[in-house]
Amino acid sequence: MTIVLDGKKIAATILDQIKHKVAMLPEKPFLSIIRCGDDSASILYTTMKKKKAEDLGIKAELQVFSADTPEENIVNYIKDANLFANGIIVQLPLPPHLDQKKILAAIEPEKDVDGLTIHSALEVMQGNERHAPATPKGIMRLLAEYAISLAGKHVVVVGRSDLIGKPTALMALYRDATVSICHSKTKNLANHTRQADILISAVGKPHFITADMIQDSAIVIDVGISQLQGETRGDIHPDAARKASFIAPVPGGIGPMTIAMLLEAVVEAKIYKNEANRKERGLP
């Protein structure tokens, strides 16, 4: 029998904890969300993030730039936001004429709650996950909540993005897993995925992982989100899901955990700043 890793349930508990922390703070955390252009998915995600933040008592500001906005304007806005925000999110993808690396580099490391800057990537590489991207953090947190250890297991990650694939692989490695990363150029992909004790797929192609690609009783984490016939689908085919011992499905698995980890990072950034300010003033 397949056990569902209920990210929605776990995330709800985490969000309740965050809301309690926010209520105890003398000054509310501030989240700055930046969107450029009118990509429909970006509109949906930024609107949802703002609403979720406000539901927890976090102040949230959504700054929308037109698709033809000069790069300098966005960089200057981020530099200003560094002065007052506890967390800054630049919603990706950006319009193609913009230099993504330059824009993200304008975010101060302590404000990078989305884990997208080079500084954050280097921290993850060294085993410091405080500024890790929210989705990999959500994966690790969900596995931990179900007492699933990665130590000694073969983890296969399908996808090598900077946001999900690479940091997920590194975080699994620091939990003593043996890790393989597969991607679009991997030959005989099924030969690799069938070896996985834990399979994490972040491809974004509906039902990409079929039943013949996983071993019986594998633990499967579905991170891919796409549309098929007007419905949200994951990478994992339903027949493959039924072979798993545990599965984090789409929807209801890693998606809610990602939002929870993001907002937790905003509150932690505020608490960290408060503690730093007390130390500067010599207070206990």
Residue 139 and residue 222 share a domain: yes
206 pLDDT more than 80: yes
272 pLDDT more than 90: no
Residue 152 and residue 96 share a domain: no
CATH number assigned to the domain comprising residue 239: 3.40.50.720
- Percentage above 70 pLDDT, the chain: 96
Active-site amino acid positions: 49, 91, 114
Residue 152 and residue 88 share a domain: no
217 domain-assigned: yes
Mean pLDDT of 197-213: 96
Asked whether 46 and 37 are in contact (CB, 8 A), the reply is no
278 pLDDT more than 60: no
172 pLDDT more than 60: yes
CATH number assigned to the domain comprising residue 85: 3.40.50.10860
68 domain-assigned: yes
272 domain-assigned: no
pLDDT band, residue 281 (cuts 50/70/90): low
149 domain-assigned: yes
95 pLDDT more than 90: yes
Looking at residue 280, its pLDDT comes to: 58
38 domain-assigned: yes
Residue 152 and residue 101 share a domain: no
Q: What is the pTM of this model?
A: 0.93
Residue 138 and residue 87 share a domain: no
Looking at residue 247, its pLDDT comes to: 98
Last residue of a domain, one of 46, 73, 108: 108
Mean pLDDT of 52-81: 97
Average pLDDT, the chain: 94
Mean pLDDT of 15-32: 96
Residue 89 and residue 188 share a domain: no
CA separation for the pair 82, 263 (Å, rounded): 17
Number of domains in the chain: 2
Q: Which domain holds residue 61?
A: 26-108
198 domain-assigned: yes
